[in-house]
Amino acid sequence: MQNNLIHGVWRNHSMNWSLVGSPLRPTEEDQRIMMMLSIPALSHSMEHTDVVVLGVTPELVHLSWPCNTRVQAFDHSADMIASVWYPNSRNSSFVQQVSWQNMPLSDNSVDLVIGDGCFTVLPSADACRVVLAESARVLKRTGLLVLRCFIRPERSETLENVFAALHAGMIGSFDALKWRVAMAITPDEELSVAVTDIYAAFEMLFPDRDQLAKCTGWSRTAIDTIGAYKGMAARYTFPTMSELRKLASPFVDVFDIRQGHYELAERCPIFCFKPVDCKS
Ligand SMILES: C[S@@+](CC[C@H](N)C(=O)[O-])C[C@H]1O[C@@H](n2cnc3c(N)ncnc32)[C@H](O)[C@@H]1O
């Protein structure tokens, strides 16, 4: 039952996929940065280069990978695979319904692990640690882990701030509003938040969706995607920059951090990590 509810959020998300935009999905600028950060990991093998995509994010599966790249995508949701995955037409690519916590790969076998917003969709800091350890295990010593991460500010803003920013015309999209509400209610000591609480906070702040649509110009269809969170058992995790560095440090070293220029980009940095003990 619990598992069904957790997967339910992805069933709902898969139905809304075409309505989801930046910052939840990577922009073209994010894609360019992620490819630029990945390149050093793609030049070591004379034969195949193996890339693992965490999830089925089309913007990553369909990057312009070098021609000898094999792309394998791992996602635990059959619904997301069925509605969002399609193979890369230039590279060998396939998908498996697999949990990132337990990847069906040998140690030191992959050149690059790449993902978008992966920590956020994990339920806790512990789950993030497991995925970091698993990514470090499967990466070759020359490999890299490139992740765009949704980062809570070191000092959280309040829901009142979010409400005021909205009414001052300073929030440009429904997805940016959703992430600001989610980060504002994430308890400092926990790092994670129940998606039902994001829904409840949204309902409390904006009980009249027609009014929200009128004052922002956003479509009701986009606003109603918040319904995907109603009654769901899933939790989302939003570490701060310093919490994420601490979570990662036993498994990977931070090699580089970049960010784009879109709304909320400062909360969506792209990390390039190296497995620990690989300082070259
Ligand atoms: C890559 S993440 C982020 C997507 C996007 N940035 C967003 O928030 O809308 C979303 C995907 O991760 C998958 N997912 C979440 N947790 C997972 C896990 N532990 N193992 C495998 N797939 C997982 C979900 O099924 C979903 O397809």
Give me the average pLDDT of each 10-residue run along the chain (280 residues): 58 74 95 98 86 97 96 96 95 97 98 98 97 98 97 96 97 97 94 97 97 96 93 95 97 97 98 80
Ligand 1 atom nearest 17 alpha carbon:
9
Closest ligand 1 atom number to CA of residue 131: 19
Is the CB of residue 10 below 6 angstroms from any atom belonging to ligand 1?
yes
Residue whose entry in the numeric block shows the structure tokens 């619990």: 2
**What are the residue ranges spanned by the domains of the chain?**
16-151+239-275, 159-237
**pLDDT score recorded for residue 279:** 46
What count of other Cβ atoms lies within 10 Å of the Cβ of residue 246? 12
- CB distance 145 to 135 below 8 Å: yes
| pLDDT given for residue 188 in this prediction | 86
Q: Which residue has its alpha carbon closest to ligand 1 atom 11?
A: 55
**Which residue, judged by its Cα, is nearest atom 15 of ligand 1?**
121
Could you tell me the distance, in angstroms and rounded to a whole number, from the CA of residue 211 to the centre of ligand 1? Answer: 32
What is residue 1's predicted lDDT score, i.e. its pLDDT? Answer: 41
Q: How confident is the model at residue 98, as a pLDDT?
A: 97
C-alpha span between 61 and 53 (Å, rounded): 7
| pLDDT tens-place string over residues 135-191 | 999 999 999 999 999 999 999 999 999 999 999 999 999 999 999 999 999 998 889
Ligand 1 centre distance from Cα of residue 104 (Å): 17
**Exposed, middle or buried, 135 (CB in 10 Å: 0-12/13-18/19+)?**
buried
Q: What is the dihedral of CA 191, 197, 198, 203, to 10 degrees?
A: -160
CA distance 81 to 198: 25
The answer to whether the CB of 175 is under 6 A from ligand 1 is no
Q: Which residue, by CA, sits nearest to atom 2 of ligand 1?
A: 118
Which protein residue has the closest C-alpha to ligand 1 atom 9?
24
| Nearest CA residue ID for atom 26, ligand 1 | 55
**Given ligand 1 and candidates 27, 31, 34, 118, which is best to mutate, with the most ligand atoms within 8 Å of its CB?**
118
The answer to whether 223 and 215 are in contact (CB under 8 A) is no
**For ligand 1, atom 10: residue with the closest CA:** 55
Return the number of other C-beta atoms located less than 10 Å from residue 261's C-beta.
8
Task: Provide the Cα torsion 60, 84, 202, 165; round to 10°.
Answer: 40
In CATH, the number for domain 16-151+239-275 is 3.40.50.150
What is the token pair recorded at 9? 């959020």
Does the C-beta of 237 come closer than 6 Å to ligand 1?
no
Helix, strand or coil, per DSSP, at residue 242? helix
